[in-house]
Amino acid sequence: MIHRGEGSCALFPEVAHLHADRADLPRLVMPVRSFRPDVVVDINGLGRTDVTSALPAVRDAARFVVISSCDVYDAYLGYRLNKLVQSGPITERSPLRKRRRVLPHAVPQRPDYDKLDVEDAWRGYPAVILRPTAVYGEYDYLRREGFVLDRILARRRQIPFGPGNLRYTRVSVTDLARCVRLVVDCEAVEGETFNVAEHVTLDVRAWAQAIARAADVDIEYVPVHESVLPDGLRLSTTYRQHLVISSTKARTMLGWLPSPLEESITASVRWHAGRAPVERSFAADDLALATVPPTARTS
């Protein structure tokens, strides 16, 4: 296993590990080739150079599994621009973005970030492309439940909230890992592309409510005008473009089935709740709540 060795997650202790940055791979061709990998799983290629710099070291592998992203779809850019570009579920045949390297928010230190470039760089090799949607769960450094969970841990029981109409399919890291394993074990899907997403899509309000249930806490979501929402709660504003991702192909061809939704959310919330809470100010919450008379508040 090749990784930087900087994380706290001690996975697969029985497997040989090589601690290296991707940028170091051109000078580590022989040590990497000595692993003699049958399958290479590329989980963090962020731009074209990440792939081209790694290829000399791993190109002898028989097959490759590439973790891309659903942000390659045109609908994702529409979501970011709050502009409707596609109605209905997003499948592997949905239009891809025509604009490249327009998502610097994803990896601020990498202006060359684009999973479309990563996919292109792997074309011509015996690769399977996996396009997971928003991944949550253990070790999620983005802490996707944090917009509610941080407030729960701070003993906030009223949260200013917008309409919360956005429907955005997610997938747990455990289910993504199981999908990767299925692809590794299946040689018959070489050259295929699969969306990896749960088959249930909650809107943001329902997702926030599910997070509170998982934490076993009653929360009052106080409707406020979108203009006064704190930055951390902007996800609850009104969205025109939804991201309902279809994973029918993965379920049909791979036999992949995601875990029950409530089970995945509960596991993630409990894991993150057991870590030190993020210290943050909720003064903006108080200002937003102050715009609503107590008699007008409803949960």
**Could you give the CA distance from residue 103 to residue 80 in angstroms, rounded to a whole number?**
9
Tokens of 206: 């329902």
Question: Which pLDDT belongs to residue 297?
Answer: 63
What is the three-class DSSP state of 36? coil
Question: Which pLDDT belongs to residue 10?
Answer: 65
CATH number at residue 284: 3.40.50.720
Secondary structure element (H or E) that encloses residue 273, with its range: helix 261-273
Structural domain for 229, as ranges: 2-296
Question: Which pLDDT belongs to residue 281?
Answer: 92
The half-sphere exposure of 241 on its side-chain side, counting CA atoms within 13 A, is 17
Tokens of 116: 């479309």
Q: Tell me the mean pLDDT per 10 residues along the chain, length 299.
A: 67 74 81 84 93 89 94 97 95 97 85 96 94 96 94 96 97 97 93 97 98 97 96 96 98 96 97 88 96 72
Tokens of 87: 């109605």
Question: Which pLDDT belongs to residue 36?
Answer: 83
Question: Which pLDDT belongs to residue 8?
Answer: 56
Question: What total number of domains does the chain contain?
Answer: 1
